[in-house]
Amino acid sequence: MAADNPPPATLVFLAATFGAIFALVGWDLASDYREGVNVAHVVIESLVLAISGIAMIWLLREFAGHRRRLRALASVLESTRQDSLRWRRQYFETVRGLSRAIQEQFGEWQLTPAEAEIGLLLLKGLSLKEIADVRETGERTVREQARAIYRKAGVPNRSALSAFFLEDLLLPHDEPPDGGDARRDERHPDPS
């Protein structure tokens, strides 16, 4: 639904208004025609009748289009909800384990509870302003705490912080589970 389209309730109201105008002008036109009113008056009322009829039909078609788009969006939303629920059920233990691993790593980096909370929000993709709003603190405070997290983690920025946790999750399937060390050993075998 485009942002400049009126909401469906407005379309129904306008269609009903034009329908009422159409009916009243049609009734008046029939009455005037029987009474022999001036032809110019009949022509003008006929134009008003045609315009109101066209407007009413157009608005009803727009309303029907809105309803179709809303039904399609509702279907997509429900499908997405089902996919999300299925994914959460399927990977619940994995996600819980990842969450524990992230918390353990935050502990190894000796993050304060506030820094750990900010670290999680950074990993979730919230902006500094959004984090400040969630934590009801200043954006400058959050920025300083984020810098402290990066310093303690030994990473330059948010992307590197995210990559620290995601890199091994995104390995090709044929890579060994011990990650970089095994790959490095294969490329550079120990000469001894």
The answer to whether residue 4 scores a pLDDT higher than 70 is no
What distance in Å separates the CA atoms of residue 50 and residue 56, rounded to the nearest whole number?
A: 10
pLDDT more than 90, % of the chain: 40
What distance in Å separates the CA atoms of residue 4 and residue 2, rounded to the nearest whole number?
A: 6
pLDDT of the residue at 115: 96
pLDDT of the residue at 7: 64
What is the mean pLDDT of the segment spanning 66-75? 90
Task: Give whole-number Cα distances, 191 to 27, 81, 125, 184, in Å.
Answer: 102, 54, 44, 13
On whether the pTM is more than 0.85, the answer is no
pLDDT digits (tens, 9 = 90+) for 13-48: 887 888 888 888 888 878 877 787 787 777 787 888
The answer to whether residue 1 scores a pLDDT higher than 80 is no
**Between residues 95 and 8, which one has the greater pLDDT?**
95
- Structure-token pair, residue 24: 């009243």
What is the mean pLDDT of the segment spanning 40-60? 82
* Average pLDDT of the chain, as a whole number: 82
11-20, 64-73, 176-185: which has the minimum mean pLDDT? 176-185
What is the mean pLDDT of the segment spanning 83-101? 85
pLDDT of the residue at 179: 52
**Between residues 158 and 165, which one has the greater pLDDT?**
158
